[in-house]
A and B are shown apart, each in its own frame.
Chain A
């Protein structure tokens, strides 16, 4: 089948059709030559009118600031200040030398791995559950996805009350089995566990939803054949379903990584990066340094480091997956 792009090309030149689509060209001229060949610049101008505003916005508010941020990272500059001192790589050196950096990186790694990895595992489990022929699974799917559409701030606040060590649900549940509530608010490690749980609760429905859509497109015949061959459901799942989910897993690994690294609302509402900076991720550090401490140059350096890491990780993901996943 010719794509629309091929078809479109045919409106501008009949030759392009036969070159690009080859096989199906006989149909094309009849359908797509009602008008004389137009001057190309007219189409270019239209293209600029249609796509220009969006591209201009991206340049002004994404690409130009990306470069600016790189430049700011070489300055000792306070937000709002009129003067800045060039310090070269000074901000980077400061960041790598800071004893607190190890903690920030560790917190970021734990938060990211737990939310991305945990989210995919729990999301897949939910999806498998929701894919079974059970009564009420439609309603269950809706309920599982619901938190995903809620404000992160609202979710953070309501869970803060759930985790209240004295008057919350978790305290009551733990009390029922004779365990005292951990100091969710005051201990840096427990606070990190807390924000991870809340992040998972809010976002796992999205992962489940995407996996569910993928599971529903797994051909039934394949599973029936496996079952006839005497394969257990678990083996069939591992050897047939999981490989088929490869592209979905790849898609989710990139999107959930991006959103996990950007998470701000829940941390801001629940812990503000504390206690003892136990929930300060790199992203939260960028906000804190830039807008709380006003150290815009330093903040930009952290932002640049994080963006570089993000780019490298995404590229590796794409390279790695190119080899393993067949679309």
Chain B
């Protein structure tokens, strides 16, 4: 391969200026498209009725009062939604990570005659959309008496397929010296996993955990099916309850509710963006 050490072509500096300008225009446009709808939602949460239903549209509210938020909180039990979302997300994502770690450990470090088959079984599950199996699962959960329960929301989606895949990929790249140390230490496999493998895999685990927390938090279809009591609803399901509560769409109240659902995730995303982006990219880079 020919590799020039430093390429300073004559044309480059001349071309750079307009290209840069075009790049910045594109960047501004992309950011505007992404931010405008969110700003629109955020501002609408503060608007009075006559500020919303007006032509031409009015961007900024006269005053930043919280009456829409009060109305949203009064219409549906948002406190319960938050609690339920938190419980199902923490337990669901936590157990999912545990299952992913132990399965990946088994696939990489333990002997079993049908290991390849077991791993194939886990990976193939990625191809089975939730909707294909929701009727049998709903019937099963209903027959167990799990409708309107946390276990009904959490358990059917608990198995870890993608997490197992990512952890396996990661375990295969671990430095040999760590495993030597673990083996010499005479630690059991359980201790090897927790004392050696998990600590050095912390960045990967954090990245995968954050992505799994985000998807549990946003999960909609399954909780919609197995919960019909408002005090057991999660935030996304509760949001559609708020939407359907008003006969005529009351944008101010609905946008206030939408802000309550999105803002915690946005704050978490901007605070932890490096790790979340690492988690999202992990799948793509290995593929």
Q: CB within 8 Å of B: which residues of A?
A: 3-5, 7-8, 11-12, 31-32, 34-35, 40, 43-44, 46-48, 50-51, 53-55, 57-58, 60-66, 68-69, 72, 79-80, 126, 129-130, 132, 134, 136-137, 140-154, 157-162, 164, 166-169, 171-172, 175, 201, 205-206, 209-210, 213-214, 221-222, 224-225, 227-228, 247-248, 250-252, 255, 258, 261-262, 264-265, 268-269, 283, 286-287, 290-291, 296, 299-300, 303-304, 306-307, 310-311, 314
Chain B interface residue bracket vs A = 35 or more
B194 within 8 Å of A by Cβ? no
Give the residues in chain B near A250, CB-CB below 8 Å. Answer: 287
- Report the bound CA distance from A51 to B44 in whole Å: 49
Give the residues in chain B near A46, CB-CB below 8 Å. Answer: 106, 110, 189
Q: Are B262 and A150 closer than 8 Å at their CB atoms?
A: yes
Give the residues in chain B near A228, CB-CB below 8 Å. Answer: 4, 7, 9
Give which listed residue, B107, B126, B136, contacts A72 with CB less than 8 A: B136
For B273-287 the 0/1 string (1 means CB < 8 A from A) is 100110011011101
B90 within 8 Å of A by Cβ? no
Give the residue name and chain of the B residue nearest to A217 (CB): B285
Interface contacts beyond A149-B276, A161-B251: sample of 20 additional A-B pairs, CB < 8 Å, sorted by A: A5-B108, A34-B183, A34-B186, A47-B106, A47-B110, A51-B102, A58-B122, A62-B128, A69-B136, A137-B27, A157-B243, A161-B255, A172-B56, A201-B33, A205-B34, A251-B287, A262-B130, A265-B218, A286-B132, A304-B132
Q: Are A269 and B240 closer than 8 Å at their CB atoms?
A: yes
- Report the bound CA distance from A209 to B285 in whole Å: 10
Give the residue name and chain of the B residue nearest to A145 (CB): B277
A95 to chain B, nearest CB (A): 15
B248 within 8 Å of A by Cβ? no
Give the residues in chain B near A290, CB-CB below 8 Å. Answer: 134-135
Q: Are A213 and B176 closer than 8 Å at their CB atoms?
A: no
A237 to chain B, nearest CB (A): 13
Give the residue name and chain of the A residue nearest to B266 (CB): A146
Most buried by A among B132, B164, B235: B132
Give the residues in chain A near B186, CB-CB below 8 Å. Answer: 34-35
Give the residues in chain A near B139, CB-CB below 8 Å. Answer: 79
**In the complex where A7-B176, A31-B176 touch, is A221 in contact with B1 (Cβ < 8 A)?**
yes
Give the residues in chain A near B287, CB-CB below 8 Å. Answer: 247-248, 250-251, 255
Q: Are A287 and B265 closer than 8 Å at their CB atoms?
A: no
Give the residues in chain B near A201, CB-CB below 8 Å. Answer: 33-34, 37
Q: Are B136 and A167 closer than 8 Å at their CB atoms?
A: no
Q: Are A264 and B221 closer than 8 Å at their CB atoms?
A: yes
Q: Are B281 and A158 closer than 8 Å at their CB atoms?
A: no
- Report the bound CA distance from A209 to B71 in whole Å: 38
B63 within 8 Å of A by Cβ? no
A-B contact pairs, 10 of them (CB 8 A): A35-B186, A51-B110, A57-B159, A61-B156, A134-B23, A149-B265, A157-B239, A210-B284, A247-B287, A248-B287
Q: Are B221 and A287 closer than 8 Å at their CB atoms?
A: yes
A85 to chain B, nearest CB (A): 17
Give the residues in chain A near B179, CB-CB below 8 Å. Answer: 4, 7-8
Q: Are A129 and B26 closer than 8 Å at their CB atoms?
A: yes
Give which listed residue, A64, A69, A154, contacts B258 with CB less than 8 A: A154
- Report the bound CA distance from A206 to B135 in whole Å: 30
Interface secondary structure of B, over-half rule: helix
Inter-chain contact total with CB atoms closer than 8 Å:
322
- Report the bound CA distance from A252 to B284 in whole Å: 8
**In the complex where A54-B102, A72-B135 touch, is A61 in contact with B157 (Cβ < 8 A)?**
yes
Q: Are A264 and B280 closer than 8 Å at their CB atoms?
A: no
For B218-243 the 0/1 string (1 means CB < 8 A from A) is 10110011000000000111011001
Most buried by A among B103, B130, B189: B103
For B103-126 the 0/1 string (1 means CB < 8 A from A) is 101111111110100100110011
- Report the bound CA distance from A214 to B286 in whole Å: 11
Q: Are A154 and B261 closer than 8 Å at their CB atoms?
A: yes
Give which listed residue, A80, A140, A149, A314, contacts B269 with CB less than 8 A: A149
Give the residues in chain A near B56, CB-CB below 8 Å. Answer: 172, 175
Q: Are B262 and A151 closer than 8 Å at their CB atoms?
A: yes
Q: Are A151 and B217 closer than 8 Å at their CB atoms?
A: yes
For B46-76 the 0/1 string (1 means CB < 8 A from A) is 0000001111110000000000000000000
**In the complex where A140-B30, A213-B281 touch, is A162 in contact with B40 (Cβ < 8 A)?**
yes
Give which listed residue, A31, A61, A303, contacts B131 with CB less than 8 A: A303
Q: Are A221 and B112 closer than 8 Å at their CB atoms?
A: no
